Amino acid sequence: MKEQVVCKTSDIQPGEMKEASFGRQGVLVCRTPDGEFYAFMNQCIHQGAPLDKGMICGATTDKSKPGSYDYCHEGEVIRCPWHGREFSIKNEGRMLANPSKKIPSFKVRVEDESVIVYK
């Protein structure tokens, strides 16, 4: 499977995510608030939870100081439905607490109304 239309652009609003199939592989298609599309393996790299059952959200950042939260990147973070690990959509799916780990990702392009995932 080299490439595949996984959904229509109108299927996912900015700040939302959705499960789709790429061949036999389950993928998580995310749309960040700026309208861009991203696709990741729909399985958490920790213990394998289905990521589409988690949430797309923002995160408290490393600019936070003890006792004072800095929260941003709304719509740019995936949080796992089980242990809550956070992955940055805009930073190659890297885990916030340990950026050396990342969710495998797929390339995505949009043609007309179609969201196409490819390797």
Residue of 39, 77, 80, 116 that binds other proteins (CB under 8 A): 80
Instruction: Compute the least distance from the CB of residue 49 to other proteins, in Å.
Output: 7
When asked if residue 47 is in the footprint of ligand FES (CB under 6 A), the reply is yes
Distances (CA, A) of 10 to 35, 83, 104, 109: 11, 30, 25, 14
Binding status of residue 96 toward other proteins by CB under 8 A: no
104 binds other proteins (CB under 8 A): no
Q: Establish if 59 lies at the interface with ligand FES (CB under 6 A).
A: no
117 makes contact, choosing from other proteins, ligand FES, none, with CB < 5 to 8 Å by partner type, with: none
Interface with ligand FES, residue 102, by CB under 6 A: no
Query: Could you say which residues in the range 50-79 bind other proteins, by CB under 8 A?
Result: 50, 53-55, 79
Length of the chain: 119
CB-nearer residue toward other proteins: 28 or 80: 80
